[in-house]
Chains A and B, each alone.
Chain A
Amino acid sequence: MGRRPRAGLGHAALRAILVKRDSEHDDQAAAAAELGVLFTVVATVSGSLWAKAMWGSYWNWDPRETSIFFVLILYIAYLALRGSIEGDEKRARLSAIYSAIAFVAVPFLMFVVPRMYEGLHPDPIINNRGKVDMDPLIRLCFFMMLIGFTALYFWLQTLRVRVTRLERRRELARECDHGPQLGRVGCLAARVGAALLLAPAGREAGQRTGEVTMNFKTILAVGLGVAAIAIGVSSFKQTMTPYIGFAEARKASGLVQVNGKLASKDYVINKEEQYLKFKLQDTNGDVMPVEYRGVIPGNFDQAVSIVAIGAFKGDHFEANQLLVKCPSKYQAMESETGGKHPDGVPQGGPAGPAAPETTGVAS
């Protein structure tokens, strides 16, 4: 799953737009947003096809699917906003403001929200253990695609900006043609004027008076921002372990999430009646019976770990959703889940080559 939209590349130009008022930077930002939409759509569609092949449905609001969807509507909102502002300078300024505030939302959408909830995606490949957990072949493929698509992005970006620049120039030339009896000299003068306009506007002198308060505000805002990120990261770390032990689950009244592995192989499975009964063991060794009614995850018997969402009823845990995590093809095989061919092609899980999914879901 190496498809990651190049979100937010346009934001680099932001400061330049707001402070230096250079239209070139705005062109860059617009091009980045347009390409962002393109790349995000490509990633979403190809990811959706992949999901159909691997999980059996095109779209199931998996957290990471949700977050890329958010990013997509963010881009569309940005472009809609640009489309409804008249005047180059105003458009540049207002859309820069919007992308700056969106820049605040993106980390929350991309990183915090998806990791808050357990989903179908395998563990983040580049994860918080600081380890690239990937099979060598997939790793090669992944990094080649990463480099290739990034290069493609930059090439398209350059092209797009050049087109915009040419369009701008043509607009000015047309202005000269229909302009108020300016003639050739006037046309030349207008072009020179335009060149001056496009150059960064010199800042006016005498800002000393304002600088002190400005600096104070900047420091305050940056300080607040850093604090917010720190809090965000710490809560992000907390939410990395959203599961509670069985003992706690027995006491809780509402819906809870528990995580564990199959305690023994003697589970009851009835595909017709969509009924499943098994024993789950948590990390403390505590064993709890679980009953579940619903679509049985196809890869239940290969599960390395199971997440059950539901409530404790009487003597057992009644799950209304099951998430089954199976050995990932993309992760380097560990010795207990399967071997490896000498040529480096990973083998499937214990059930043989028919083990396709990373994870399966039912509800």
Chain B
Amino acid sequence: MSAASLRLAGNDIAHRFGPRVAVRPVSFDVSAPGVVAVTGENGSGKSTLLRILCGLLRPSRGECVFEVDGCAVEPRRRRLFTGLATPELSFYEEFSAAENLAFAAETRGLPNAANAVRLALEQVGLTPRADDRVSAFSSGMKQRLRLAFAILHEPPVIMLDEPGSHLDDAGRAVVEHIVQTYGPRALVLIATNEPREMALAEQRIELSGRGLERTA
């Protein structure tokens, strides 16, 4: 799946919640493989844009193109091809880290769920705490679990919203490791204002209406 060619484009996408503007019109066109930073001030709509791109939200204006191998994917099937890690994502506190990921893997219908869970936990350094309940996790460990959830099914698009929040230096190294591992074969979107994370990206979508800017 990670070998699939993928194109993600926005044509004048904008969103409002009632009268409140969440995303100003933005256009871009990116494709895998690559690392793209989504930047903008607080409240410029980075998280909302990611929700629109992975099909959770219908934009109030504009068009979003999500193509896998040249075929357009309708919004409600995009979750199959995306891994999303966002601060809004919470896990079942009464389950362990491994059980949470196993539930996700089984529900997504992954053929070798147990193996996928083991690999994902290994990559974020949670293996020693795999069988502890999430209710006992620190916020940094929960953030690592979110990262593991995003890469669990090896999706062609990985969206990381503020991936460095709550993380220590080792945790930030995990983020870098993930970007470096998946960047060459998938499309990695990082919504961030951290210079260190922005430096990982080759392209940038600047939110506030200016569209795509090349940084490299």
Using CB atoms and an 8 Å cutoff, list the residues of chain A in contact with chain B: 21, 87-88, 171-172, 175, 193, 196-197, 201-202, 204-207, 209-210
**Does B89 lie at the interface of the complex (its beta carbon under 8 Å from any beta carbon of A)?**
no
CB within 8 A of A207: which of B14, B16, B61, B74?
B74
Q: Which residues of B contact A209 (CB under 8 A)?
A: 71, 73-74, 77
**Does B58 lie at the interface of the complex (its beta carbon under 8 Å from any beta carbon of A)?**
yes
Closest to A86 in B: B18
7 closest A-B pairs by beta carbon, nearest first, are A206-B72, A175-B19, A207-B74, A210-B74, A197-B60, A88-B18, A205-B72
Q: Which residues of A contact B17 (CB under 8 A)?
A: 87
Q: How many A-B residue pairs have CB under 8 A?
A: 37
Q: Which residues of A contact B71 (CB under 8 A)?
A: 206, 209
Q: Which residues of A contact B60 (CB under 8 A)?
A: 197, 201
Q: Which residues of A contact B76 (CB under 8 A)?
A: 210
Closest to B55 in A: A204
Complex CA gap A196/B63 in Å reads 13
**Does B64 lie at the interface of the complex (its beta carbon under 8 Å from any beta carbon of A)?**
yes
Closest to A211 in B: B74
**Does B40 lie at the interface of the complex (its beta carbon under 8 Å from any beta carbon of A)?**
no
**Does B211 lie at the interface of the complex (its beta carbon under 8 Å from any beta carbon of A)?**
no
Q: Which residues of B contact A175 (CB under 8 A)?
A: 19
**Does B87 lie at the interface of the complex (its beta carbon under 8 Å from any beta carbon of A)?**
no
A204 adjacent to B18 (CB under 8 Å): no
A206 adjacent to B18 (CB under 8 Å): no
Complex CA gap A227/B147 in Å reads 48
Complex CA gap A21/B14 in Å reads 16
**Does B125 lie at the interface of the complex (its beta carbon under 8 Å from any beta carbon of A)?**
no
Name 13 interchain pairs, CB-CB below 8 A, sorted by A. Answer: A87-B18, A193-B14, A193-B61, A196-B61, A197-B61, A204-B63, A205-B63, A205-B72, A206-B72, A209-B73, A210-B74, A210-B76, A210-B77
Q: Which residues of B contact A21 (CB under 8 A)?
A: 58
B77 adjacent to A197 (CB under 8 Å): no
Q: Which residues of A contact B75 (CB under 8 A)?
A: 204
Minimum Cβ distance to chain A for residue B150 (Å): 24
Q: Which residues of B contact A193 (CB under 8 A)?
A: 14, 16, 61
Complex CA gap A60/B61 in Å reads 55
Q: Which residues of B contact A201 (CB under 8 A)?
A: 58, 60-61
Minimum Cβ distance to chain B for residue A289 (Å): 68
Q: Which residues of A contact B74 (CB under 8 A)?
A: 204, 206-207, 209-210
B18 adjacent to A202 (CB under 8 Å): no
Closest to B16 in A: A197
Known: A206-B73, A209-B74. 19 other contacts (CB 8 A): A21-B58, A87-B17, A88-B18, A171-B19, A172-B19, A193-B14, A193-B16, A201-B58, A201-B60, A202-B63, A204-B75, A205-B72, A206-B74, A207-B74, A209-B73, A209-B77, A210-B74, A210-B76, A210-B77
Complex CA gap A202/B62 in Å reads 9
Q: Which residues of A contact B19 (CB under 8 A)?
A: 171-172, 175
Question: Which residues 8-42 in B have Cβ within 8 Å of A in the complex?
Answer: 14, 16-19
Complex CA gap A327/B10 in Å reads 73
Q: Which residues of B contact A206 (CB under 8 A)?
A: 71-74
Complex CA gap A175/B18 in Å reads 11
Question: Which residues 87-121 in B have Cβ within 8 Å of A in the complex?
Answer: none
Closest to A91 in B: B18
Minimum Cβ distance to chain A for residue B48 (Å): 13
Complex CA gap A237/B158 in Å reads 59
Q: Which residues of A contact B64 (CB under 8 A)?
A: 204
Q: Which residues of B contact A205 (CB under 8 A)?
A: 63, 65, 72
Complex CA gap A205/B73 in Å reads 9
Q: Which residues of A contact B77 (CB under 8 A)?
A: 209-210
Minimum Cβ distance to chain A for residue B208 (Å): 12
Complex CA gap A122/B75 in Å reads 55
Q: Which residues of A contact B14 (CB under 8 A)?
A: 193
Minimum Cβ distance to chain A for residue B140 (Å): 32
